[in-house]
Amino acid sequence: MNKPIDRVEGFSKLSQIEKRQHVADVLDNPNEVLELLAGFAHQNPEIQELLSEFSENTLTNFPLPYCISPNFKIDGKNYLVPMVIEESSVVAAASNAAKFWFDKGGFRTEIINTEKVGQVHFIWRDDLYKLHNNFDALKQQLIAGTMDITENMRNRGGGILDIVLKDFSHEEPGLMQLFATFETVDSMGANFINSCLERFASIFKDWYNQLDHPKDDGLEVVMCILSNLTPNCMVKCWVECDIADLDNYVPGTSGEDFARRFRTAVRIAQVDPFRATTHNKGIYNGIDAVVLASGNDFRAVEACGHAFASMSGQYRSLTDVQIDHGRFVFTLHLPLALGVVGGLTNLHPLVKLTNKLLGNPSAQQLMGIAAAAGLANNFGAVKSLVTTGIQRGHMKMHLFNIMKQLGVEKHEQAPIIEYFKDHVVSVSEVRKCLELIRDKAQA
Ligand code: MEV
């Protein structure tokens, strides 16, 4: 039984050892817990300190597998793609799909735009004409007043692109916003954008107070924050081949039949949000794994992609299939705001390795690589779904987890793997098989 948990003051000020002790003391096996937490800490104290400082109240590390998906050809260049993911079949599916498309030209990408977004939300309780008539002057002041913040970014080819007024007063009295767009080049740009927005707010308030007859409550800035919805930071990624090249890709299935069933599966995800959610989840299996390996923010990437998938008014598939003049074209379109500088990218040793392995890509190249991983996973999942079914591959990968869970010894693995080459995997079936092997061994 765990002990009751009391309100605690100053937890964040405790040392890491004290924090571990505090947590372990709540449990009925504190010594085991302390050993577990210590066991997952990095042996190199400098690396541990670095990892601990990425977050607050760190007790230890929570490792995830750092994997490689080989045989990705993207825009004519070959990659070993790093993926951080705990789901066993994702890397296998991505690798199989990448290998299949390797000889067919690989993945092609096109960056459609790289614009980021930030908003200053405010309530306007004065005459609207004052704002509209003087907005151009205000905009100049906002741009001039952030020159110190934007200097480095401008030197790298980025900066503020535009600032426009948006009016939401039909939804909420007086609600408006400064809607600003930015180019952040190789960084994701969150800190840069938020700093600009907070400066905008203070310039805006000063500007208002210098107008004729400002009111005490004429302008109320509610909040300043970037938007994770970046529909103009878009990547398109596609693969294509002759339909005849799909003949016997799944043994015994013609290319035409495979392409037709595949296209129907994607259509289902375009018309039915229930299927679209799972379909897009499969796309993010690949994307998130690359986003994590490259030290980017997968929550931001997912929030953006799912909002984008709903922009027609209904949540839909992010991929599409065209079958035309004997060609099969499979395309992923999605907004993806990634960085290769700033944040974790220059700090985490494995993120540095990812960038090195990928040939120190630009943010735009990384967008293409992540999109290719997403398209590869979607191709693998839909292919399995419309042919063998997903469980065969999944459960084969899962077999290793089940064997571990059931305490299968090393020498017992080979006959179990052999047996499940042509039997359906389930926990109960593996248990039965194991019991048989053990009975035989004792006999
Ligand atoms: C599982 O992680 C992902 C799939 O469910 C995706 C899909 O259904 O398309 C296999």
* 378 CA → ligand 1 middle, Å: 8
List the catalytic residue out of 42, 75, 77, 87. 87
Residue 345 confidence class, pLDDT cut points 50, 70, 90 = confident
Q: Quick one: pLDDT at residue 43?
A: 96
Residue pLDDT, tens place only, 76-111: 999 999 999 999 899 999 999 999 999 999 999 999
**Known catalytic residue: 213?**
no
Q: Quick one: pLDDT at residue 206?
A: 97
Residue with CA at minimum distance from ligand 1 atom 10: 381
Burial of 74 (0-12, 13-18, 19+ CB in 10 A): buried
- Of 403, 347, 338, nearest to 368 by C-alpha is 338
Q: What is the pTM of this model?
A: 0.91
Q: Quick one: pLDDT at residue 224?
A: 98
Determine the average pLDDT of the residues in 9-18. Answer: 97
Residue 344 confidence class, pLDDT cut points 50, 70, 90 = confident
Cα–Cα distance measured from residue 426 to residue 67, given in angstroms and rounded to the nearest whole number: 26
**Known catalytic residue: 394?**
yes
Torsion angles phi and psi, residue 322, rounded to 5: -115, 135
Determine the average pLDDT of the residues in 237-246. Answer: 98
Residue 331 confidence class, pLDDT cut points 50, 70, 90 = very high
Residue pLDDT, tens place only, 257-287: 999 999 999 999 999 999 999 999 999 999 9
Determine the average pLDDT of the residues in 385-392. Answer: 83
* 281 CA → ligand 1 middle, Å: 6
Q: Is the pLDDT of residue 398 over 90?
A: no
Determine the average pLDDT of the residues in 296-312. Answer: 98
Pocket test for ligand 1, best of 90, 275, 279, 391 (most atoms within 8 A of CB): 279
* 284 CA → ligand 1 middle, Å: 10
Hey, what are 250's tokens?
């799944």
**Known catalytic residue: 126?**
no
Residue 8 confidence class, pLDDT cut points 50, 70, 90 = very high
Residue pLDDT, tens place only, 155-199: 999 999 999 999 999 999 999 999 999 999 999 999 999 999 999
**Known catalytic residue: 281?**
yes
Q: Quick one: pLDDT at residue 58?
A: 98
Looking at the DSSP bridge assignments, the partners of residue 77 are 74
Around ligand 1, the residues with Cβ closer than 6 Å are 87, 278-279, 281-282, 285, 381-382, 385, 390
Pocket test for ligand 1, best of 277, 384, 385 (most atoms within 8 A of CB): 385
Burial 388-412 (b: 16+ CB within 10 A, else e): eebeebbbbbbbeebbeeeebeeeb
Q: Which atom of ligand 1 is nearest to the CA of 384?
A: 10
Residue with CA at minimum distance from ligand 1 atom 6: 282
Residue with CA at minimum distance from ligand 1 atom 7: 279
List the catalytic residue out of 281, 333, 352, 396. 281
- Give me the percent of the chain exceeding a pLDDT of 90: 91
Residue with CA at minimum distance from ligand 1 atom 2: 282
Residue with CA at minimum distance from ligand 1 atom 1: 282
Contact present, 76 and 106 (Cβ < 8 Å) = yes
Question: Range with the lowest mean pLDDT among 286-295, 296-305, 337-346?
Answer: 337-346
